[in-house]
Amino acid sequence: MDGILLVNKPKGITSHTLVQKVRKRLGISRIGHTGTLDPLAEGLMILTVGKATKILPFMSHFFKEYVATMKLGERSDTLDCTGEILQKQQVPSLSESQIVEVLNSFLGESEQLPPMYSAKKVNGVKLYDLARRHQEVERKSQKIVIREIELLDHRDDQITFRCLCSTGTYIRVLIEDIAERLNTIALMSSLKRTAIDNYRLEDALEIDEIDIDTALIPAYEVLRDYQYVELEDISDVINGRRIKLEENAADVVMITHHGEVLACYQRQDELHYCKRGLW
């Protein structure tokens, strides 16, 4: 079995647990995923199965859509409702136009500091492991892009919004920053990932719907953003040799043979070299 699988992760389990459950149902251990979801979160996860695990680096540019709810007037150590409450304050009166204006101020590129309670690694150690030991370390800000952000609902101390953002965006941190611009504090009370690139949550399977007869989405469809170069003679590709392509070939291309993606090749001077074999 080779390809990708759209799965709806339920609230309350880790992404690792979901992968383990799917491995058991399919009877295959070679399964990866395109990005974790916290136990609190639910929604779409893309799992790569078999040879498709090799295409993970080429999916890192995919934008992801979330629907999040923030609870105003409270702040926790984890920035969500699972953590210890550190601070409470009265919620100010906010108009819809105020909230929309603040949400829109986050559109475009910005810098975001990863939270201590996250799976990001510093010197090989996950930040949340350090946080649980009450150790805080210096983290580097990273560039994020928010392409779309929309207010969905505002009631009393709750704000729900939809956000389309680049990989690596921490919605919990975004919520903290939104609250600061609203002159209050907040934590994340719920999070649902509704889309990754063109793949939607409504097309995902529940864990108990997955079995060995489940149809997988082929890598050829997933990598459609890249230029495909179909070759009949693939001996040089199989042996990892440099090849000469047409002048109009992109700097990074996917080599295919009879509709199957074999390798990613990158230009270097007049030739393309094998960046990664995918067979």
- The pLDDT of residue 71 is 98
Q: Do 187 and 81 meet the contact criterion of CB atoms below 8 Å apart?
A: yes
Q: What is the pTM of this model?
A: 0.91
| Candidate CATH numbers 3.40.50.1100, 2.60.40.10, 3.30.2350.10, 3.30.1050.10; the one for domain 64-196 | 3.30.2350.10
Q: Facing residues of 210 across strands?
A: none
CATH code 3.30.2350.10 region(s) in the chain: 3-61+199-219, 64-196
- 23 φ, ψ (degrees, to nearest 5): -55, -45
CATH number of 3-61+199-219: 3.30.2350.10
The DSSP secondary-structure symbol of 34 reads S
So what CATH class is 226-277?
mainly beta
Of 2, 38, 80, 177, catalytic: 38
251 belongs to the catalytic site: no
Whether the CA torsion 35, 71, 162, 142 is positive or negative: it is negative
What is the Cα–Cα distance from 73 to 90, expressed in whole angstroms?
6
Rounded CA Rg of the chain:
22
Q: What is d(CA 223, CA 276) in angstroms, rounded to the nearest whole number?
A: 14
Sequence-ordered strand ranges (E) for 156-223:
158-165, 186-196, 199-200
CA distance 145 to 133: 32
Return the structure tokens found at 51: 């040879």
Question: pLDDT tens digits, the chain, 279 residues: what are they?
Answer: 899 999 999 999 999 999 999 999 999 999 999 888 988 999 999 999 999 999 999 998 899 999 999 999 999 999 999 999 999 999 999 999 999 999 999 999 999 988 766 666 766 767 667 666 666 767 788 999 999 999 999 999 999 999 999 999 999 999 999 999 999 999 999 999 999 999 999 999 999 999 999 999 999 999 999 999 999 999 999 998 999 999 899 999 999 999 899 999 999 999 999 999 988
| Count of residues making up the chain | 279
CATH 2.30.130.10 residue ranges in the chain?
226-277
